């Protein structure tokens, strides 16, 4: 095998991951056969599995990147930005994640692998939340963990509705109601004058 | 074929549906082969498909019953009861629904069939919501539809987290935050004294 530079390797990894994401989104996880992955990625199975030993590893790497990205947006830009991000995610890709929910619950090994890679409330997210509580952005009569799981609940709901092609409530409404639930300030003015 | 009384037919329909639900929950929708459905239901494929022409019809009937049940709980017992119901649903059965989300979005005919059977905000639910708004239980500066879709969002989030075996936020916390978001009264007392 010819030697490949580190840079070239990194490029190839990206090529594989991008192609795999498109392929999963188009055909579903089960539907993404090795032949389809080869076609979409533009590399042979040998080349692909040289970087990722299995389809499962490809999926897990993509899922881990999603988590890391969400976590980063939360820490760098705050909660509103995370909500805005989720409502823009590709429904086809979200549905791939749903296809695997059964397996997350029933396959112990897969569960462990996904847990390990998932960003729930990371220390950085928690610190950010606690800062926001101190600054009065979020209410301080709840633990950061309680606020975090409620936000997670709303994000899960948005993701599921979007994956199924359901009409989402307007983002501004979601943000406003979320602030009423977990925001530091009381709701002083109604969104609209009562009819 | 011997004649079967209407009562016997209704019983058999229930037997089929109960067995199908167990079978889907255990093996997933794709994994529930006709042979497995026969075994779990205790009837031959001929007998089963005499009542339901396809696996899809079996699933749709079960999904429709879920929707009708949720709608009934909402109307008869109110929102808190619906939330309490969702957090108790069988995770394995919820995951079957998730497995089909991709198909809901990509298969036009399946989408139409599921839409037709789904209770989003039925007239009865909407009337109940509007009554609750007038009674001051829910805020009146939003449309009943806006309140309904936000509740739906939270229920979707609970269902997804439960299907994946994630730790749910405590039900009392969810209800309390939901009331802060859409309840008629302002949050007057913190859940706990700030630390």
pLDDT tens for chain A, 195 residues: list them. 567 799 999 999 999 999 999 999 999 999 999 999 999 999 999 999 999 999 999 999 999 999 889 989 999 999 999 999 999 999 999 999 999 998 888 898 988 888 877 655 578 888 889 999 999 999 999 999 999 999 999 999 999 999 998 889 999 999 999 999 999 865 444 445 444
Q: Which helix (H) or strand (E) holds B134?
A: helix B123-134
**Closest chain B residue to the Cα of A194, Cα to Cα:** B141
- Alpha-carbon span B189 to B169, nearest angstrom: 20
Closest residue in A to B152 (Cα) is A157
Closest residue in B to A104 (Cα) is B164
* B154–A154 CB contact, under 8 Å: yes
DSSP A149: H
**Closest-approach residue (CA) in chain B for A178:** B181
Put simply, the answer to whether A99 touches B99 (Cβ < 8 Å) is yes
Helix and strand numbers (H, E) in chain A are 11, 0
* CB pair distance less than 8 Å for A98 and B96: no
Distance from CA of B6 to the nearest CA of A (A): 37
Tell me what the pLDDT averaged over chain B comes to.
89
Query: Hey, of A25, A98, A182, A192, which one would you mutate to test binding to chain B, going by the most B CBs within 10 A of its CB?
Result: A98
> Within 13 Å of residue A156, how many CA atoms lie on the same side as its CB?
25
Query: What is the share, in percent, of chain B residues with pLDDT greater than 90?
Result: 71
Q: Do B186 and A182 touch (CB under 8 A)?
A: no
Mutate to test the interface with B, among A102, A106, A150, A178 (most CBs of B within 10 A): A102
Are the Cβ atoms of B156 and A157 closer than 8 angstroms?
yes
Is the pTM higher than 0.80?
yes
**Burial annotation B113-128 (CB, 10 A radius, 16+ → b, else e):** bbeeebbebbeebbeb
């Amino acid at each position: 095998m010819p030697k490949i530079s580190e840079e070239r390797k990194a490029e190839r990894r990206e090529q594989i991951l991008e192609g795999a994401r498109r392929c999963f989104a188009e055909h579903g996880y089960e539907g993404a056969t090795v032949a389809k992955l080869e076609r979409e990625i533009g590399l042979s199975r040998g080349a692909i599995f040289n970087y990722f030993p299995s389809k499962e590893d490809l999926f897990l790497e993509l899922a881990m990147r999603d988590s890391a990205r969400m976590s980063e947006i939360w820490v760098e830009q705050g909660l509103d930005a995370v909500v805005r991000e989720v409502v823009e995610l590709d429904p086809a890709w979200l549905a791939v994640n749903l296809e695997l929910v059964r397996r997350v619950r029933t396959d112990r090994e897969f569960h462990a692998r996904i847990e390990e890679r998932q960003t729930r409330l990371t220390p950085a997210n928690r610190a950010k939340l606690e800062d926001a509580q101190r600054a009065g952005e979020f209410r301080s009569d709840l633990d950061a963990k309680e606020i975090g799981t409620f936000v997670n609940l709303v994000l899960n709901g948005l993701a599921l509705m979007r994956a199924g092609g359901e009409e989402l409530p307007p983002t501004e409404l979601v943000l406003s109601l979320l602030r009423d639930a977990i925001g530091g300030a009381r709701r002083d003015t109604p969104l609209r004058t009562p009819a």
